[in-house]
């Protein structure tokens, strides 16, 4: 059986709502951002060369099974974590995540450039188990 809980989106000013769907032991989340035109290849390169300390920070934040997809200028991230609030709180204070966000900020459109600890989460509308 599926459990659905609704929470406000991060950042709240975007006006989206997030539905966190529990599939087995861990909730899955999805975020969406938009790249500035011409930055797609650099975005891919930076993620292919992801800093080791960033990989460690992602795991330390409780994030697992993390995928990032690129569709034109849209960047879509899908990940699992046990406690979204704890994950976001960790991101706000982690030095490596702060440096990574600053390093990549110029590639995102202004509405998509969010600081660590805030994610433009999107809502799930359908799921086929």
Domains, the chain, in order of start with CATH, read 3-107 (3.30.70.100)
Active site residues: 47
Are 97 and 61 contacting, i.e. CB atoms less than 8 angstroms apart? Answer: yes
Query: Which pTM was predicted?
Result: 0.74
Q: What is the pLDDT of residues 63-115, one digit of tens each?
A: 999 999 999 999 999 999 999 999 999 999 999 999 999 999 999 998 776 66
Instruction: Name the nearest CA neighbour of 67 among 29, 26, 36.
Output: 29
In the chain, which ranges are E strands? 3-8, 17-23, 26-34, 64-71, 74-80
Q: What is the pLDDT of residues 39-68, one digit of tens each?
A: 999 999 999 999 999 999 999 999 999 999
């Amino acid at each position: 059986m599926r459990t659905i809980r609704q929470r406000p989106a991060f950042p709240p000013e975007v006006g989206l709502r997030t539905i966190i769907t529990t599939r087995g032991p861990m909730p899955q989340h999805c975020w969406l951002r938009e790249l500035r035109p011409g930055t797609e290849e650099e975005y891919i390169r930076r993620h292919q060369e992801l800093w080791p300390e960033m990989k460690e920070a992602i795991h330390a934040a409780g994030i697992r099974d993390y995928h990032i997809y690129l569709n034109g200028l849209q960047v879509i991230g899908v990940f699992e974590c046990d406690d979204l609030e704890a994950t976001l709180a960790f991101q706000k204070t982690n030095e490596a995540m702060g440096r990574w966000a600053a390093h990549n900020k110029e590639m995102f459109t202004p509405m998509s450039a969010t600081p660590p600890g805030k994610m433009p989460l999107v809502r799930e509308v359908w799921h086929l188990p």
